[in-house]
Structure 1
Amino acid sequence: MALVKTIVPVTAFMQNCTILMCEETRAAAIVDPGGDVARIRAALDKLGARPQKILLTHAHIDHAGGTAELARQLSIPVEGPHPDDQFWIDALPEQSRMFGFPQVESFTPDRWLADGDQITVGNVSMNVIHCPGHTPGHVVFHQPEQKLAMVGDVLFNGSIGRTDFPRGNHADLVHSIREKLFPLGDDVVFVPGHGPESTFGHERRSNPFVADRRG
């Protein structure tokens, strides 16, 4: 059993909305549907996927802005993020005005997630890792057998998430990356919220913000 991943760039911020589809059942989770709902639905149709749920790493508008509309259209539940991001969900209408997005709705997830939880996509399970710093309620989804992680805006190819938004914390972010993500293994491929994929090993060696310190 494996997950097939399809990245659908959405919004003016070119956010990596990712469709994870269980190869065996064709059940699919939509990770971080920030907007452009019609584009996401077209990608689902092209894959022949059966939408099962929405998964949210965090509640910034470019990741969560299309959630309420997509969940309503497809009649699927929303899982995530961690409850510490409730204030960001409540602020989605304000975020849409601030960043010039189409007006979006706030919502209440059907399931909040916490560190150590598991989510399923068809017959595949993924582990939930609470990784605060970019936002206080940010979570990461990790599939150990496939060596795959969906990291949202915690870590990027060559960079890390911003921490200058309300309740961001740089020290928490660095701790999340070094102590929670890097120990998962150098060969884990991660899909960031923006930009190209990378591996934890590559970032440990070369990322100027979190690379291993050499003596």
Structure 2
Amino acid sequence: MNIYSFSLGLLGTNCYVIEQNQKALVVDPGGEAEKLIQFFSENDVQPIAILLTHAHFDHIGGVEELRSHYSIDVYMHESESEWLTNPQLNGSQRFQLGEIKAEREADHFLTEGMTAIDQFEFKVLHTPGHSPGSISFLFESEHVLIAGDTLFQMGIGRTDLPFGEHQTLIQSIQVKIFSLLDETIVLPGHGPKTTVGEEKEQNPFL
């Protein structure tokens, strides 16, 4: 399994491409879909699904172009089902960035626990706080967690946006993420990667 990272969109959101046997999952395509399309073309990789850690505008900007270009499905948590198509809920209207949205809601909703998409198996962790539908994706065999905006290197997700809850975020991190092996690599929604162990020991917010 190979994991590629792209910094996309106005806020430099980390988009991750998880590739195996020339097929790929795309996590949080925040914008600039043409860069991803070029990557897939040049490397003869076929994307098969889009996964969203949550539906804030800076994580969904490339969803519609990728979904329509490759005729692939979008997966996310049901509690943010309306956010993909609603600029007021996903925050793009609030920050006066124009309407960032998808044409329709997600095709599938993910719940806590193990799931499989084609050849990919991973565990979904519901990690609300930054937003009510925030989820993290754990690839146990690789010891990798894609955490969205829940946990950063020496930081945590902001909770001052609508529907954010600070105590809920702290609980998500302590119960869901800090229970993982210390060597688990954490791939955040923004900034550099870290590990569970490093954040347990050094994160000033925790």
Unaligned runs of 5+ in 2: none
Question: Which AA in structure 2 matches 1:125?
Answer: E
Pairing 1:144–2:140 present:
yes
Aligned residues: 204
| Alpha-carbon distance between aligned partners in 1 of 2:163 and 2:95, rounded to the nearest angstrom | 19
Pairing 1:57–2:65 present:
no
Residue aligning to 2:41: 45
Residue aligning to 1:78: 74
Counterpart of 2:2 (choices 4, 12, 31) is 4
The alignment's TM-score, normalised by the length of structure 1, stands at: 0.89
Counterpart of 1:125 (choices 118, 121, 137) is 121
**Same amino acid, percent of matched pairs:** 34
Higher mean alpha-carbon deviation, 95-104 vs 40-49, is at: 95-104
How much does 1:103 deviate?
Answer: 4.0
Residue aligning to 1:213: none
How much does 1:196 deviate?
Answer: 0.3
Q: Aligned-residue CA RMSD in angstroms? A: 1.6
Deviation by residue 1:64-99 (Cα, 9 ceiling, x = unmatched) = 12212210111111111x111124324237743443
Contact 2:82/2:105 (<8 A) preserved: no
| Alpha-carbon distance between aligned partners in 1 of 2:175 and 2:35, rounded to the nearest angstrom | 36
How much does 1:117 deviate?
Answer: 4.1
Unaligned runs of 5+ in 1: 211-215
Counterpart of 1:177 (choices 169, 173, 180) is 173
Contact 1:133/1:176 (<8 A) preserved: yes
| Alpha-carbon distance between aligned partners in 1 of 2:42 and 2:34, rounded to the nearest angstrom | 12
How much does 1:131 deviate?
Answer: 0.5
Higher mean alpha-carbon deviation, 153-162 vs 35-44, is at: 35-44
Counterpart of 2:32 (choices 36, 41, 51) is 36
